[in-house]
Amino acid sequence: MSAEEESEARRLLQESNPRQLPADAGTLLLRHQNPNLGHLIGAERSAFYLNILYGLLLFRRSHELEPLHEDIFQFVLPAQQVEADDGYDANAFNQDMRQLEKWELVTQRIERERLRGYKDTRRRKFRYRISNPALSFLQWLEDQLRAAIEPEGADTRNLLEEAAGGVRELQRTLNKIQKTKPDPDKARTATYQLSRIGHLALDINHSLADFNTRLVAFTLERYDIATAQAILNELQHFLENYINRIQILRREIVPELENLASPRFKPKWELCKTLMEDEIKHSSMLMRGRTIPDARQEIDRLIRFYELGGQLDQLCARIRASAQSVWRKLYTHLRELERKSHRMEDLRDRIAEMAACSGEHGFAGFINQLIAPARMVADMHYWDAAEKADPPQPRQEQHTVRQAPIGYLKPKPKGDASSIRSLNDEKIHRLRRWIEATHAELPAALSQGGYTGFSDQASLIELARNGLLGNGRNLAKVDLKLETTATPAGVEIDERLLEFKELMVSKANKEQDNGH
């Protein structure tokens, strides 16, 4: 793998919460895989190939990594003869082994000690070894077969308890790490524990998703009364303990993870990373490559998973909704089954009663009602084949006489239209009354008025706005005008000073204003 390919692969594997799928994800995942595994499943002799590969797997589990050619043939021969219709011999075995070698699912090695000369061509001098992709594929097939026979699933509560214990143990391990005495073993243990807690989060997610799928499957089936009642009782008892225990363990884990993300542990995480990088550097040829997880990113991802409103909380809410749906479906189904059961019991009792009576009793009416169609009888008049029903009575129409509507509210009295003023006019008249109250005679200087409160300063500003802006047209409506001077002035009221150039207020001469 080149440096560029390794960088792309690491970026894909380390992306914890992508917003969209990377463009080259499928290419990277298939780049270093053996595509011949697909040929293995679809081949005509797939059963013979799988028998040989599974035999190599069993040899491997017996600590024989490279069995001899003859040993493999003798081991798989009984199974191959059962699969073959026309017999199975060494030639067919050799052809199958060559095909597996061509597909790079097995590798061969010459057993040098058994060679007796250059003319020695016996096949038993070879040893065979199963490849890693084929080994992983067979283990996956075993898991699928085991799940089909005995479906197993880890209890989420046990996984959460293990995660809570792992977080506390990780804190104890980090507390033992000291910068003055670096210990590679403790650093390796802390890194493994953090990685293990991350894997537990994935297992918890998978377990809850499977549990939710099983709950939804209950709504797609039909059950008898006893089974439905048992499921309802079990669902009520299990969910009360199951969800509550998950929430309790979740609340225990979140504070511990937040403590691990605190600045107090940051130097210890950096020391662990340095020690692990040094160990990998000194054992790169002897041990397989290992990736060192970013502690900060991993802990942040775990906090987002366990926190309130996180992925775990959303999964629990989804399970609650599924459980309620199952509860409603099964409860409705149970009530319907009980209703049908009561109806059948009533029919059985009636049939038993009819069977016990003699033939003289007439049960024609009961039989007619039993097989009668489900229709509503809406005609209340009696009629049959001989007697006709009475005709319906004519409808009597009642003509209503329109009357004038009664007005219960008296009309409001209307005043003189000339007395109506706008809000702006009312404000200007109020300013005139204020000028007359604060100044004994006009013309007068605004700074020399008899002011008593803070509201007088606001009135001064309002008077200046109406008397200066728009050539004083607003103030002229109440026969007043303002004239500016260059003399500085000020008005101080309640320790609040308003400074301005002196303004002279006087009565306006309408004739002069109109002439201008």
Quick: pLDDT tens for 350-397: 788 777 777 666 677 777 777 776 555 566 677 777 888 777 777 776
* Nearest partner of 306 among 478, 160, 499, judged by Cα: 160
> Cα(7)–Cα(13) distance, rounded to whole angstroms?
10
Do residues 133 and 205 both lie within one domain? Answer: no
> Cα(188)–Cα(292) distance, rounded to whole angstroms?
10
Q: 127 pairs with which residues across the strands? A: 68, 109
CB 173 within 8 A of CB 193: yes
pLDDT given for residue 181 in this prediction: 79
Q: What is the pLDDT of residues 147-161, one digit of tens each?
A: 777 666 667 778 888
Mean pLDDT for the chain overall: 79
Q: What is the pLDDT of residues 93-111, one digit of tens each?
A: 989 999 998 998 899 888 7
Cα-based distances in Å from 28 to 12, 20, 140? 8, 16, 21
* Nearest partner of 79 among 64, 96, 67, judged by Cα: 96
pLDDT given for residue 419 in this prediction: 59
Any idea which residue has 């609340």 for tokens? 251
Task: Give the residue numbers spanning the domain of 42.
Answer: 28-112+123-141
CB 72 within 8 A of CB 56: yes
Which residue type sits at 331?
Answer: Y
CATH code where residue 47 lies:
1.10.10.10
Which residue type sits at 46?
Answer: S
User: Which one is predicted more confidently, 337 or 285?
Assistant: 337
pLDDT given for residue 291 in this prediction: 65
pLDDT band at 421 (very low <50, low <70, confident <90, very high): low
Q: What is the pLDDT of residues 280-331, one digit of tens each?
A: 777 665 555 556 777 888 888 888 888 888 888 888 888 888 877 877 877 7
> Cα(473)–Cα(157) distance, rounded to whole angstroms?
84
Domain boundary pick from 327, 346, 363: 327
Do residues 107 and 188 both lie within one domain? Answer: no
Give domain status of residue 416, yes or no. no
Give domain status of residue 11, yes or no. no
- Helix ranges (H only) for 357-390 are 364-371
Report residue 421: phi and psi, to 5°: -125, 155
Identity of the highest mean pLDDT range in 80-84, 228-232, 349-353, 420-424: 80-84
- Asked whether the predicted pLDDT for residue 9 surpasses 80, the reply is no
Do residues 54 and 137 both lie within one domain? Answer: yes
Give domain status of residue 41, yes or no. yes
User: ω before 443 within 30° of 0 (cis)?
Assistant: yes
Domain boundary pick from 279, 297, 327: 327
Q: 128 pairs with which residues across the strands? A: 108
Dig out the tokens for 477 from the structure. 């409506």
**Who contacts 103 (Cβ-Cβ below 8 Å, separation ≥6)?**
34, 36, 39, 40
pLDDT band at 505 (very low <50, low <70, confident <90, very high): confident
Dig out the tokens for 355 from the structure. 């069977």
User: Long-range contacts: 240-246, Cβ < 8 Å, 24+?
Assistant: 242/156, 242/157, 243/316, 243/319, 243/320, 245/157, 245/160, 246/156, 246/157, 246/160, 246/312, 246/316
User: Which one is predicted more confidently, 417 or 22?
Assistant: 22
CB 163 within 8 A of CB 253: yes
Give domain status of residue 175, yes or no. yes
> Cα(135)–Cα(184) distance, rounded to whole angstroms?
32
Q: How many domains does the chain have?
A: 3
pLDDT given for residue 515 in this prediction: 44
User: Which one is predicted more confidently, 417 or 232?
Assistant: 232
Looking at residues 80-86, what average pLDDT do you find?
85
Give domain status of residue 320, yes or no. yes
Give domain status of residue 374, yes or no. no
Least confident of 9-18, 184-193, 315-324: 9-18
Do residues 167 and 316 both lie within one domain? Answer: yes
* Nearest partner of 162 among 292, 253, 259, judged by Cα: 253
pLDDT band at 479 (very low <50, low <70, confident <90, very high): confident
- Helix ranges (H only) for 393-507 are 423-438, 455-468, 473-476
Do residues 99 and 166 both lie within one domain? Answer: no
How many angstroms separate the first and last alpha carbons of the chain? 97
Do residues 132 and 171 both lie within one domain? Answer: no
Q: What is the residue-wise DSSP string for 477-495?
A: TTTEEEEEEEEEEEEEETT
Cα-based distances in Å from 441 to 31, 464, 476, 515? 102, 19, 18, 26
Domain boundary pick from 308, 327, 346: 327
Looking at residues 14-22, what average pLDDT do you find?
65
Do residues 179 and 131 both lie within one domain? Answer: no
Do residues 196 and 301 both lie within one domain? Answer: yes
Do residues 128 and 82 both lie within one domain? Answer: yes
Dig out the tokens for 184 from the structure. 């590679």
pLDDT given for residue 516 in this prediction: 45
Name the DSSP class of 410: P
Give domain status of residue 253, yes or no. yes
Task: Confirm whether pTM is higher than 0.75.
Answer: no
pLDDT given for residue 1 in this prediction: 60
Residue % of the chain over a pLDDT of 90: 1
CB 327 within 8 A of CB 239: no
Give domain status of residue 383, yes or no. no
Do residues 133 and 243 both lie within one domain? Answer: no
Do residues 157 and 132 both lie within one domain? Answer: no
Which residue type sits at 163?
Answer: A
Q: What is the pLDDT of residues 213-239, one digit of tens each?
A: 877 777 777 766 677 777 777 777 777
Q: What is the pLDDT of residues 30-64, one digit of tens each?
A: 777 788 888 888 888 888 988 999 999 999 888 88
Residue 497: which H helix or E strand, with range?
A: strand 496-507
Do residues 215 and 157 both lie within one domain? Answer: yes
- Helix ranges (H only) for 261-362 are 266-282, 295-306, 311-356
